[in-house]
Amino acid sequence: MSLPIKVALIGLGRMGQVAARSLLKEPSMKLVLVASRSGGQKVGQDIGDILELPAKGLIVRGCDELPQLLSVKRPEIVIDFTTPEASLVNLKLAAKSGSHLIVGTTGYTRFQTEALLSIARMYNVSLAMAPNLSIGINMLINSAKKLAGLLSGFDVEVIEEHHRHKKDAPSGTAIRIAKSVAEEIGVNPDRELIFGRHGHKTNKGKEIAIHAIRGGGTIGMHKIVFISENERLEIKHESLNRNAFTDCLKKVIEYLHTHKPGNYTVEEILGLAQPVRTYIVAEDVS
């Protein structure tokens, strides 16, 4: 039997805790390092105590200790669920130590995404930007692209709803849905994606607006609507609990572990999109 994949997890908020609980139960993976905000209350506690489980002998460390810890624990995969600013710093350290990167954190700007991609390429480690760690959401994206190609003349709008604490709006997933459809129907996502309809009262056809709702404890809802003069079609996805994300996360971990370094999307990893891109490194060039 092969050895468990060594995984590090950074960020132990709502999402990080669900991921930790799931990884601790997975025999094919071993959580070798958990880290959270330096100086935060979780640092120094056993992960079991945080999750209300029996002690696991794995103590939460501060992110300021990452350079030393990464070189000792040598995780094969590092997953981040923090903030874009923190994750850029954390994942640069992880790439430098040779770990493949999974970015669960959302709200990255294009500049931050490009910076992380160059870092991953420079150290020849895999990067999975994963703002949508859910099998259902990826199915929604896939179906929405197909429908968009068929429903010519329909207006398209994306609506999302999340809990009141979510820091970014609109969600990374809503942007991903809109961009995927935009590419399909020849809309320029840089010019024709609209965030809310303030100042854009009418739908001129060649534009996609994204609307965000924030409130209460909604885990995550995404809806894409296609509307003509005569009919309306919508596809809706709702996460019923955060475990929706962990099955997908484990698939991403396994994939990065078994594939050549590259820049992968969750859609590609789930087999819903082609092609899979690997970096061209010197030894690959014949």
Ligand X SMILES: NC(=O)c1ccc[n+]([C@@H]2O[C@H](COP(=O)([O-])OP(=O)(O)OC[C@H]3O[C@@H](n4cnc5c(N)ncnc54)[C@H](OP(=O)(O)O)[C@@H]3O)[C@@H](O)[C@H]2O)c1
Span near ligand X by CB under 6 A; candidates 101-109, 148-156, 192-200, 226-234: 101-109
| Closest listed residue to residue 224, CA positions, set 184, 252, 191 | 184
**Shortest CB 230 distance to ligand X, Å:** 36
Min dist. Cβ of residue 51 to ligand X (A): 13
Work out whether 170 is an interface residue with ligand X (CB under 6 A).
no
Tell whether residue 105 is a contact of ligand X (CB under 6 A).
yes
**Binding of ligand X by 104 (CB under 6 A):** yes
Q: Which stretch binds ligand X (CB under 6 A): 77-85, 116-124, 174-182, 229-237?
A: 77-85
Shortest distance in whole angstroms from residue 239 CB to ligand X? 8
Residues from 230 through 249 that contact ligand X (CB under 6 A): 245
Size of the site for ligand X (CB under 6 A): 26
The one catalytic residue in 6, 166, 179, 223 is 166
Verify whether residue 211 is a known catalytic residue: no
Q: For 47, list phi and psi in degrees, rounded to 5.
A: -60, -35
| Sequence-separated (6 or more) residues with CB below 8 Å from residue 263 | 117, 120, 121, 126, 127, 129, 277, 279
Q: Which residues does residue 2 pair with via DSSP β-bridges, in sequence order?
A: none
- List, in sequence order, every residue forming a beta bridge with 67; answer none if it has no partner: none
CA distance 148 to 184: 7
How far apart are the C-alpha atoms of 99 and 83, rounded to whole Å?
A: 19
Token pair in block for residue 226: 């296609």
46-75: contacts with ligand X (CB under 6 A):
63
How open is the CA angle 150-186-205, to the nearest 5 degrees? 75
Closest residue to ligand X in the complex (CB):
13
Torsion of CA 172, 20, 60, 216, to 10 degrees: 50
Strand 208-214, strand 221-227: pairing: unpaired
Residue 162 a catalytic site member: yes
91 binds ligand X (CB under 6 A): no
CB of 25 to ligand X, least distance (A): 19
Q: Which of residues 122-151 bind ligand X (CB under 6 A)?
A: 130-134
Residues that bind ligand X (CB under 6 A): 11-16, 36-37, 40, 42, 63, 81-83, 86, 104-107, 130-134, 166, 245
Instruction: Give catalytic residue positions.
Output: 162, 166
